[in-house]
Structure 1
Amino acid sequence: MIDTTVDVINKLGLHARASGKLIEVTTKFRSTIQIGRGDHLIDAKNIMALLMLGAGIGTTLRLIVNGPDEELALAEVKALFAAKFYEAE
């Protein structure tokens, strides 16, 4: 199990389009992926739960990945956040 954090650095935060891109990444993996604030974690494979997080720019989110492909899943999720969800600035 990997328990780490990720920062929301894209201008619009975790809005609908960014959440959709995150779903594209998370659903590829067998590992469970949870994201949220502190102990309030949601399933990172659930679009509605992601949208309800209301994570704007500057938010630090807790990320827990657990399963057979957790290392690769973590790397891809972190890369997506680091690339600002491939949005034009």
Structure 2
Amino acid sequence: MPERTVVIASRTGLHARPAKLFVQAAAAQEVPVRIRVGDGRPVPANSMLAVLALGAVHGTEVTLDAEGPGAEAALDSLAGLLARDLDAEEASGG
């Protein structure tokens, strides 16, 4: 199963607006994607409550996984999103 490990770049971590953007992007993928912190239990990336419950703050390393056609592209897209500071982009109008 393909995986991507990425460090959360948003200053607020996966909370509020960054979490919402990530969950929406995960829900738009053609394959189900899961996210976990460390060796923790993977949770559905398209579930706001599950993503918030991870408690991923700025600098937390998370692992995404997916399986099926399009999994690699889905993981690349979502990992790229998490690697950006979505809080700074909002402040600059980005």
TM, length-normalised to structure 1 = 0.87
Higher strand residue share: 1
Matched residue type, 1:43: P
**CA shift for structure 1 position 68:** 1.2
Q: SS of 1:40's equivalent?
A: coil
In the alignment, structure 1 segments of 5+ residues that lack a partner are none
Task: After TM superposition, give the deviation of residue 30 of structure 1 in Å.
Answer: 2.2
Name the SS for the 1:12 alignment partner. Answer: coil
Q: What's the counterpart of residue 8 of structure 1?
A: 8
In the alignment, structure 2 segments of 5+ residues that lack a partner are none
Provide the aligned length of Structure 1 versus Structure 2. Answer: 89
* Partner of residue 63, structure 2: 62
SS at match of 1:48: helix
- TM superposition shift of 1:83: 2.0
Q: Is the CA contact 2:33–2:44 (under 8 Å) kept in the aligned structure 1?
A: yes
Please provide the CA RMSD for this pair.
1.6
Identity over aligned pairs, percent? 30
List structure 1 runs of 4+ shifted beyond 4 angstroms.
none
